[in-house]
Structure 1
């Protein structure tokens, strides 16, 4: 019945014996943590195929210890790891809440320290900040054992996703806490893209942005922490960033490993973050995946957007995803860079449970705070107080609390996109059929029924 209905919704264009919904009708019983049942209506399904489709948590990776760090080692990425660990320290300063350390400087300190920074070349706003920092660079240096040192910092927290789920709004409201200092850009996309030389999603790699260039972005905060340490023995200032690609975008693995590793990426963004910062805090904000996809289409879509165009793109993308599932496991399809590029809407971004489980395979549950945009929109004060608690930030004054509630929404839908109206009921029905098993499983993983979005 589901299969037939789904054909009808896409005007009979869906072909092939099976449909993605045919597979997914067994999804809640077939995901990790549940045994695959073969009773009743499921007897006609091939159990070995199902096991292939749903066993997406098996991740083989060679782990080697270098300089006391666990590194995921595969021939080519090793150079990336070594470059990262040659810059970052083994441990951070004990009296500074944010992860910071003193970096020893070598060579000519009078040269422009930010002149070659690739972020500065890409963003005029950042270039101006760097010009300002250059002026006071030598004053920021401290001397230890006759050597010059510079205070460097990494983010204390990462807002990791998802796109069109309110990350900008969270980021801007976080700014209102006096201990939070944020510097542009909101989304450096370093861990997922620029580290590999990918400037824009879907493009081939160019020049890799080294870790130093990423750390330079947080120098304004390092300076504020340094100043706060002058009068005190400790500092509670923290910084963070909000690249909404961090949670899900591992498309770079294809360029990194080629086809030598089989169907799934051998290491993910979170493996590298964990190797560098095992104690970091992660925040994800999610929304109804059906609504997220339409918002994504309106925001990133090209000319001639319409509800009909969206419907056609959804049908076409579902067909492609379904085709992948016939040949590969679910996890392999979600991380299939070629498929993700070929689909005209970003279906995979809404498959939250796949990403959440992968992050929880590396970080502990109490390091990941997962929020819903719907709750944040209804009561920003409550969601922000949850974030402040999660980040061990002090309570806010009543005045600041009111400010957080009153602040306008950041990055709302454009008027021209609002004029297109809602998606078609048939599109909504299709997407609900597709996403609901994933959301059911997400609710189980997070032990919170609200993450089903009543799909």
Structure 2
């Protein structure tokens, strides 16, 4: 009897061992997959939730939104980069690092045309740090740029969607204040990146569906109060809220993710807002038409990277034979919505830069300090000065290799004159509203009243304004353990003031207002005599 039991156990043992092995392999696979997903989320696919807006805050609204959007996913796995592409990226990165780390020659009395005197006081030991820092700031961008070229090669038809300038102008309905129109066709989308993954497909083969583009855009700049302005703005009763502040479609998602490149992906983002716009109307008299329904609600978005982030310009249609940037996000937005209202927030570029540095570490995971900031500022200024000796100013300002959304110090974002000039080239001055951050924090109510008037929205009541003003301030700068703000070094402030001075002078001239000089004397005298 015992011998029989022993034999039975021996026969069952290989089965048990096999089951244990299989379960172990499955567990390891699951853990590895979860680590990859978590890493992807950390390194860039979560940046859509920046500027103080969390995923959980908007999930309830977003998950109810219906869409009618249509592009099949034919792009394959965009996250995979083959060995050849990685090698090309490494070679390109090495070339750039070598050029960027070469010292810039200056005489003792030489002053840069950008205001900052650079005497190259850094020691040879600092050069290794420069190389390491440059690699960190450029590797992600270069791989993304290679990915962009691979996507173009594997999906030639994607270029037709990238080239928004070839699209026929959209005829919108006059009885809507917001740019809207009706479509009768089934629309689908396989875009499931960022906030778009919460939106379901709807078959509209038998029904007309209202489609809407934004009436207004808050296009920049980061750390100039754009998030605070946006969330106060959408409290106005005439504004239909989209799922979130920043879809990042113009500058990122339509380019990097094949399943998101269609305009339908962007339109579905405003599907719920379109439904609200359609349901809200008032009667008005029109000449020859009598009474008609007029839909006076509007919608918009607030991607604060739209104005400055043109990092992929060299790969986009319209820039093929351009030594500098010919087509920017401004051209795309204007082509589709020429009557749009453009909102720009600016701030003393020195303070903006430091505030940005002290905030972005939450996403980029570096340890901020006044000393590290000073070191990075010196490096970025030297790189920029080196760039303008070889290329045009605009090309260097839009250089995404030296500076992009993964950079800890973004000096080019504060060159407001270059960016705003590109939008003024296309939009009339009365369609662009500039808010000075210092004026905004001094009197939020006054600036919001001016903004409502610019958007041609009805005046708000006292009760409605209280709702606008009671919102807490968003995206405050992190403080030290004692609650006090950590200030930059005086020498850093002086260096940046001299660097930005020429750009501020051009901005003040462009906007005909001396307050954009950000000097003490500019507060009392604001108008520039031309």
TM-score (norm 2): 0.63
Q: In structure 1, what is the Cα distance between the partners aligned to 2:397 and 2:323?
A: 10
Which residue is 2:218 aligned to?
A: 159
- Further displaced range: 392-401 or 231-240: 231-240
Q: In structure 1, what is the Cα distance between the partners aligned to 2:244 and 2:436?
A: 24
Which residue is 1:237 aligned to?
A: 297
Q: In structure 1, what is the Cα distance between the partners aligned to 2:388 and 2:169?
A: 43
Which residue is 1:273 aligned to?
A: 333
Which residue is 1:24 aligned to?
A: 114
Which residue is 1:190 aligned to?
A: 249
Which residue is 1:309 aligned to?
A: 372
Three-state SS of the structure 2 residue aligned to 1:233 is strand
Which residue is 2:493 aligned to?
A: 428
Q: In structure 1, what is the Cα distance between the partners aligned to 2:103 and 2:266?
A: 45
> 1:326, CA displacement in angstroms?
1.5
Three-state SS of the structure 2 residue aligned to 1:220 is helix
List per-residue Cα deviations over 1:93-112 (Å, max 9, x = no partner): 11110110001214xxxxxx
Kept after mapping to 2: 8 A contact 1:353/1:439: yes
Kept after mapping to 1: 8 A contact 2:182/2:209: yes
Is 1:216 the equivalent of 2:268? yes
> 1:17, CA displacement in angstroms?
2.5
> 1:25, CA displacement in angstroms?
4.9
Which residue is 2:344 aligned to?
A: 284
Kept after mapping to 1: 8 A contact 2:314/2:320: no
Which residue is 2:194 aligned to?
A: 122
> 1:396, CA displacement in angstroms?
0.5
- Structural mapping, 1:111-150, within 5 Å: 116-118=189-191, 120-123=192-195, 127-128=197-198, 130-131=199-200, 148-150=207-209
List per-residue Cα deviations over 1:328-374 (Å, max 9, x = no partner): 22112111222225965111000000011111111111110001111
- Further displaced range: 312-321 or 147-156: 147-156
| Runs of 5+ unmatched residues, structure 1 | 1-12, 27-74, 107-112, 199-205
Which residue is 1:337 aligned to?
A: 400
> 1:83, CA displacement in angstroms?
6.3
Three-state SS of the structure 1 residue aligned to 2:433 is strand
List per-residue Cα deviations over 1:26-80 (Å, max 9, x = no partner): 9xxxxxxxxxxxxxxxxxxxxxxxxxxxxxxxxxxxxxxxxxxxxxxxx999613
Kept after mapping to 2: 8 A contact 1:253/1:265: yes
Is 1:319 the equivalent of 2:382? yes
Q: In structure 1, what is the Cα distance between the partners aligned to 2:386 and 2:190?
A: 43
Kept after mapping to 2: 8 A contact 1:77/1:256: no
Is 1:296 the equivalent of 2:383? no
1:246 to 306, 313, 322: 306
> 1:84, CA displacement in angstroms?
7.7
> 1:401, CA displacement in angstroms?
1.6
| Runs of 5+ unmatched residues, structure 2 | 1-101, 117-155, 284-291, 521-530
Is 1:99 the equivalent of 2:189? no
Which residue is 2:464 aligned to?
A: 400
Which residue is 1:261 aligned to?
A: 321
Q: In structure 2, what is the Cα distance between the partners aligned to 1:416 and 1:99?
A: 46
Q: In structure 2, what is the Cα distance between the partners aligned to 1:229 and 1:173?
A: 23
Distance change in 2, residues 1:117/1:384 (3 Å): farther
Distance change in 2, residues 1:260/1:313 (3 Å): same
Which residue is 2:446 aligned to?
A: 382
Q: In structure 1, what is the Cα distance between the partners aligned to 2:319 and 2:197?
A: 38
Distance change in 2, residues 1:344/1:76 (3 Å): farther
Kept after mapping to 2: 8 A contact 1:180/1:237: yes
List per-residue Cα deviations over 1:395-444 (Å, max 9, x = no partner): 10111122323322122223459656100000000000001111111011
Distance change in 2, residues 1:117/1:168 (3 Å): farther
Q: In structure 1, what is the Cα distance between the partners aligned to 2:163 and 2:374?
A: 46
> 1:242, CA displacement in angstroms?
0.2
Distance change in 2, residues 1:84/1:444 (3 Å): closer
Three-state SS of the structure 2 residue aligned to 1:304 is coil
> 1:447, CA displacement in angstroms?
0.9
Which residue is 1:80 aligned to?
A: 161
> 1:327, CA displacement in angstroms?
1.5
TM-score (norm 1): 0.73
List per-residue Cα deviations over 1:116-164 (Å, max 9, x = no partner): 442x4423xx544x35xx6xx57xx6x9xxx632111001000000011
